[in-house]
Amino acid sequence: MIPRHIDLHPQVRDALAEHKPVVALESTIIAHGMPWPRNAETALQVQDDVRAHGAVPATIAVIDGRPTVGLSDAQIERLGREGRAAAKLSRRDLAACMARGATGATTVAGTMVLAERAGIAVFATGGIGGVHRGAETSLDISADLHELARTPVAVVCAGAKSILDLPLTLEVLETLGVPVLGYRTDTLPAFFARDSGLALEQRFDDLGDIARAMQAHWALGLGGLVVANPVPEAAALPREWIDRTIEHALAAAQTAGVRGKATTPYLLEHIQVASQGRSLEANIALVRHNAAVAAQLACAFMHA
């Protein structure tokens, strides 16, 4: 039963009632991940990509205090225009936003919470959060990792964001018992780059096999899974260039005193400027690709 405090878009409600495939989509990428109007345009394109591959899209946010699973076009445009003025909502932030009657965009962790409550098994995003560089002193580790450990949702992503400490992120996922399944890749993707150089233990070339792995994982009462899907080759950026640019961006962020939730948007904006817009195009390409794969996976899961 869907909790009464969650609003469902009619198409999402009907699809869930009829046991049709649904794909959850996050909203932080709209409010905090891209500039207006590309953010809203991309969100609508991503929804179309999900539909084109046989599933129903459910973009998730909190709108005027109501957790909303399946945003209307007008709500997507509103988040896009508000941008960073909209709250950024992880698990810990949902209740406060609801109590204030406020509006906010959900992170990977926040989206997973609401997707699971609504009964959605597959979620597409750009890249998950993880262990930030310098976390040995800052302890800056994304709540996404713990959410993956406890919430039974499969997250299709282009690995973890390039700005993170990827070896430590992979290590923490292993410690937390989160499977990282490479979809047609032997290595962890690095968001803008196809290959981080970090080997994955599990590779799958067929989404039906991933769907069966999801069923087996959840039959054991376990949490989430990462389905690592590399950015399309035509849109990928060279890993060596990304690494150099991130080092420069981190130094600039430290000088500017940027910390916490503000760090990721700051670094992504720095990379966008340095790449003359190529990183934004790569971001759009990878999230659309993830949405298409997630829709196919949701369909496979319904028939596994």
Classified as helix, coil or strand, 159 is strand
- Say if CB 236 and CB 282 are below 8 A apart: yes
Of the candidates 24, 29, 30, 19, which has an alpha carbon nearest to the alpha carbon of residue 8? 24
101 within a domain of the structure (yes/no): yes
179 within a domain of the structure (yes/no): yes
**Tokens 């005193």 found at:** 257
Query: Could you give the CA distance from residue 57 to residue 8 in angstroms, rounded to a whole number?
Result: 12
82, 116, 161, 269: the catalytic one is 161
125 within a domain of the structure (yes/no): yes
Taking only the tens place, the pLDDT of each residue in 89-125 is 999 999 999 999 999 999 999 999 999 999 999 999 9
49 within a domain of the structure (yes/no): yes
Of the candidates 119, 27, 121, 111, which has an alpha carbon nearest to the alpha carbon of residue 76? 27
Residue 88 annotated to the active site: no
Q: By residue range, what is the domain housing residue 135?
A: 7-302
- Say if CB 282 and CB 237 are below 8 A apart: yes
20, 26, 82, 116: the catalytic one is 26
CATH number at residue 196: 3.40.1790.10
- Say if CB 132 and CB 161 are below 8 A apart: no
Residue 20 annotated to the active site: no
143 within a domain of the structure (yes/no): yes
15 within a domain of the structure (yes/no): yes
What is the pTM assigned to this prediction?
Answer: 0.95
2 within a domain of the structure (yes/no): no
1 within a domain of the structure (yes/no): no
Q: Which two tokens stand for residue 253?
A: 């962020």
Average pLDDT across the chain, whole number: 95
Per-residue confidence (pLDDT) for residue 261, from 0 to 100:
66
DSSP 225: E
The count of domains in the chain is 1
Taking only the tens place, the pLDDT of each residue in 241-285 is 999 998 898 889 889 998 776 777 788 888 889 999 999 999 999
The end-to-end CA distance of the chain, in Å, is 23
Classified as helix, coil or strand, 210 is helix
Look at the alpha carbons of 54, 122, 190, 216 in this order and tell me if their dihedral is positive or negative: negative
Query: Could you give the CA distance from residue 26 to residue 147 in angstroms, rounded to a whole number?
Result: 14
